[in-house]
Amino acid sequence: MVSALLCIRLSYRKLEKMFFKSGMKKKIDEMSQSHSRGWQGVKDSLVRFGQNRAALVSSFVLLIFIVIAIFGPTLAPHDPIKIGIGPRLTPPNKDFLLGTDQFGRDVLSRVLYGTRLTLQASIIAVVVAAGIGIPLGLIAGYAGKWTDNIISRFIDILLSFPGILLALIVVAILGTGLGKVQIAVGVSLIPAYARLVRGSVLSAKENVYVEAARAGGCSTFRIATRHILPNVFVPLLVLTTTAIGWAIIIATSINFIGLGVQPPTPEWGADLGAARSYLGVAWWPATFPGLAILITILSINLIGDGLQNALDPRLKHRAVIEK
């Protein structure tokens, strides 16, 4: 594990160097020089994000994973499902870069194919969570009284279960399968969205500008969506990045225990789960999917941190530092 982390640290260093050589840094710096009003704030945030090296390199890593997710099938050297492409449990060599698993399937191809499933599952889950959680929080916060009470108690019930357990319950109700895992993970993330939005709405709606908007003839819906929701935008963006990380953890965990996608579908969590019994004789079929999960979540979380710092208005005075 330590060596794996060291590996990541080293590769980060390399990527960082690559990035600074590639001139992207220069471009971002140039962008901050141009003075078109309105976009200035966005640019400042971008520059601040760019100065956070961990976040910057993480976005680069995530970008690579996204490319893999899109082009994985063309990049993969072998068929990921076909059994006996090579000898069983061959260690990494030049034919099978990451070795073969217990059925003689190519681990590299399976990891590449799995990228799409894992990322797709987490993004759909977050869309489900945001799509249900944001309106719920908005309604609860803005309507108040008994509406708020009903919605908040419902959210409290959801919150009383740990995320994975909640997802497991949904899987138990809906049954196994990729689509159902996505919904299950989505449901387990609803409380995070609903609570964040509700809290922000509660504090935002006390502002005089909401009263002023009402005096200007705005409808309740318009006030909620145009005046209050933008106030929640930054925390929502940060939550969404971290939520994708959580979604990957929960989704791969469900797959790990075999309640999600069914074999022989290549998926990181499922592969990790299937290969763990052979860990004593062969480390590679379990390690590489696990490493993929680790790196993805780490980059997503670092991006989340970077976004939080870059978009926090209280840090605005910490103006762009010239290198």
Partner 1 sequence: MNKKTVLLNVRNLHTTFHMMRGKIKAVNGISFMIERGEVLGMVGESGCGKSVTGLSIMRIVPYPGRITEGEVLLEEQNLLELGEKEMRLVRGSEIAMIFQDPMTSLNPVLTISRQLTEAIETHTDIHRHEAQNRAIELLKTVGIPSPEKRIHDYPHQFSGGMRQRVMIAMALSCYPRILIADEPTTALDVTIQAQILELMKEVCEKIETSIMFITHDLGIVAGLCQKVAVMYAGRIVEMAEVEELYSRPCHPYTYGLLTSTPRMDRRESRLNPITGLPPSLYEPPSQCLFASRCAYVEDRCMAAVPELEMIGERHTVACFRSNDNLW
Binding site for partner 1 (CB under 8 A): 37-38, 41, 207-209, 211-219, 222, 226-227, 230-231, 233
Q: Of 53 and 214, which CB lies nearer to partner 1 in the complex structure?
A: 214
In the block, residue with structure tokens 């929080």: 137
Q: Of 140 and 300, which CB lies nearer to partner 1 in the complex structure?
A: 140
Q: Of 30 and 211, which CB lies nearer to partner 1 in the complex structure?
A: 211
- If DSSP codes are grouped into helix, strand and coil, which group holds residue 287? helix
Q: Of 215 and 321, which CB lies nearer to partner 1 in the complex structure?
A: 215
Q: Of 62 and 140, which CB lies nearer to partner 1 in the complex structure?
A: 140
Cα angle for residues 56, 58, 63 (degrees, 5° grid) = 100
User: What is the closest distance, in whole angstroms, from the C-beta atom of residue 52 to partner 1 in the complex?
Assistant: 23
User: What is the closest distance, in whole angstroms, from the C-beta atom of residue 210 to partner 1 in the complex?
Assistant: 8
Cβ-contact 297, 65 below 8 angstroms: no
User: What is the closest distance, in whole angstroms, from the C-beta atom of residue 133 to partner 1 in the complex?
Assistant: 20
User: What is the closest distance, in whole angstroms, from the C-beta atom of residue 318 to partner 1 in the complex?
Assistant: 16
User: What is the closest distance, in whole angstroms, from the C-beta atom of residue 215 to partner 1 in the complex?
Assistant: 4
Contacts made by residues 88-92, CB under 8 angstroms, sequence distance 24+: 89/278, 89/281, 89/282, 89/285, 91/282, 91/284, 92/284
Q: How many CB atoms lie within 10 A of CB 46?
A: 16
Backbone phi and psi for residue 312, each to the nearest 5 degrees, phi listed first: -70, 115
User: What is the closest distance, in whole angstroms, from the C-beta atom of residue 279 to partner 1 in the complex?
Assistant: 51
CA distances from 167 to 114, 136, 190, 196, 242 (A): 21, 19, 11, 20, 17
Q: Of 208 and 321, which CB lies nearer to partner 1 in the complex structure?
A: 208
